[in-house]
Amino acid sequence: MMEPRSNATIKALASLAELSANQLEEGVSVEEVIATLRKAAETVREVVEADETIEDEASDGDLAQDLTPLQFPEDVAAKSDEETDEEPVLNAG
């Protein structure tokens, strides 16, 4: 089962903080640690923006796919065609 994004994000931030602390303890320069943190921030932003784009596209597409023509028995459909020239009724399903 996949973890919710918020839990995964919190765990990733904790791991990143631990990595940074370990790097500093091991004598890695502050500049290199900062570069690592900036690269991680950039990557997270790219993933979040991609997820938002995918969600936006999916929600628009899902709405259009959920609208299917409502099927009536032939005698009811024939009456309604004779009585009115309205657009077909769509069923969100």
Parent domain of 43: 15-92
69 occurs within a structural domain = yes
- The model's pLDDT over 23-33, given as tens digits with 9 standing for 90+, comes to 999 999 999 99
For residues 19-54, one letter each, b for 16 or more C-beta atoms within 10 angstroms of the residue's C-beta and e for the rest, the string is ebeebeeeeeeeeebeeeeeebeeeeeeeeeeeeee
9 occurs within a structural domain = no
50 occurs within a structural domain = yes
pTM strictly above 0.85: no
pLDDT band, residue 50 (cuts 50/70/90): confident
8 occurs within a structural domain = no
73 occurs within a structural domain = yes
Count: domains in the chain: 1
Partnered with residue 92 across adjacent β-strands are 67
4 occurs within a structural domain = no
